[in-house]
């Protein structure tokens, strides 16, 4: 199974600051020039919401302050200017092979 | 608008069974891969099972293989998860999610609100 490891487990940043979350997979999720990697945002009491897929493609309707980067085994989700509404837990997940696995989550708070 | 509505959760004793349903609307259900993901209280997300939209392939996590069965009725636009031999560790909110296409190895772009399954005596 591919193990997904996120860092940090939690972060607190000021409004307007940049927030960066890292995700590392135990083996490459790159195939045919595509990285099989998504990022989700989950707010309390809500289902996960797709933010980024194929590691760097923003889902329709997602604000452009969210961006994804990386390839192979190392990936990053960046929130360029943190808003209060971005308080949530963020998960990376691969869909390269079954079982699909998720990172443990990163809790983002406002400092 | 895509809508996914899970139902069938509840309290069940260890060793018991439940069948979850996910009623889909707003898209051509038969053409899309579908997935079940669960989340234990206060914990992270765990992939449970999936069904491709093309070819009819099914996929299971090792933790549920042999106990859970995924199925779909394209005439009713509904995804199911039959859960047998339930254990305390199966306690979770169960979400159904829609793939972006028929091929299973694609992102899941829409999720239901989830249904809570509690396994306890």
pLDDT digit string (tens) for B2-27?
A: 999 999 999 999 999 999 999 999 99
Is the predicted pLDDT of residue B55 greater than 90, yes or no? Answer: no
List per-residue pLDDT tens for chain A, 111 residues long. Answer: 999 999 999 999 999 999 999 999 999 999 999 999 999 999 999 999 999 999 999 999 999 999 999 999 999 999 999 999 999 999 999 999 999 999 999 999 999
3-state secondary structure of A49: strand
* Distance separating alpha carbons of residues A49 and A20, to the nearest angstrom: 18
* E runs forming strands in B13-114: 18-25, 34-39, 45-51, 58-60, 68-73, 78-83, 92-99, 108-111
Is the predicted pLDDT of residue B54 greater than 90, yes or no? Answer: no
Kindly report, residue by residue over B31-40, the tens digit of the pLDDT: 999 999 999 9
B12: number of Cβ within 10 Å:
18
Query: In terms of DSSP bridges, do strands A88-94 and A106-110 run parallel, antiparallel, or are they unpaired?
Result: antiparallel
Kindly state the tokens that stand for B78: 């509904």
Whether residue B103 lies within 8 A of chain A, CB to CB, comes out as no
Query: Which of B1, B39, B45 should one mutate to test binding to chain A, selecting the residue with the greatest count of A CBs within 10 A?
Result: B45
Residues of A with CB under 8 A from a CB of B: 36, 38, 40, 42, 46-50, 53-54, 59, 91, 93, 95-105
Q: Which residues pair with B12 in a beta bridge?
A: B119
If you count residue pairs, one on A and one on B, with CB atoms under 8 Å apart, how many are there? 55
Kindly report, residue by residue over A30-52, the tens digit of the pLDDT: 999 999 999 999 999 999 999 99
* Distance separating alpha carbons of residues B64 and B30, to the nearest angstrom: 24
> Shortest Cα distance from A15 to chain B (angstroms)?
26
Per DSSP, B96 falls in state E
Backbone angles phi, psi at B96, to 5 degrees: -105, 150
Q: Scanning the structure block, which residue is given the tokens 């493609």? A: A57
């Amino acid at each position: 199974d591919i193990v997904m490891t996120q860092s940090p487990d939690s972060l607190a940043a000021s409004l307007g600051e940049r927030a960066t979350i890292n995700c590392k997979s135990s083996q490459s999720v790159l195939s045919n020039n595509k990285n099989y990697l998504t990022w989700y945002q989950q707010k309390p009491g809500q289902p996960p919401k797709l933010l980024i897929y194929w590691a760097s493609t923003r889902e329709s309707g997602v604000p452009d302050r969210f961006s994804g980067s990386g390839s192979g085994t190392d990936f990053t989700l960046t929130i360029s200017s943190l808003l209060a509404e971005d308080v949530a837990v963020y998960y990376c997940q691969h869909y390269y092979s079954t079982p699909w696995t998720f990172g443990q989550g990163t809790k983002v708070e406002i400092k | 608008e895509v809508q996914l509505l899970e139902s069938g959760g509840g309290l069940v004793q260890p060793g018991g069974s439940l069948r979850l349903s996910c009623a889909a609307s707003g898209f051509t259900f038969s053409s899309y891969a579908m997935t079940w993901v669960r989340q234990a209280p206060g914990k992270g997300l765990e992939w449970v099972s999936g069904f491709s939209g093309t070819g009819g392939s099914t996929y299971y996590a090792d933790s549920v293989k042999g106990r859970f069965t995924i199925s779909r009725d394209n005439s009713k636009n509904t995804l199911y998860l039959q859960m047998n031999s339930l254990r305390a560790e199966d306690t979770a909110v169960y979400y159904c999610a829609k793939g972006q296409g028929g091929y299973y190895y694609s992102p899941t772009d829409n999720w239901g609100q989830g249904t809570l399954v509690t396994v306890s005596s």
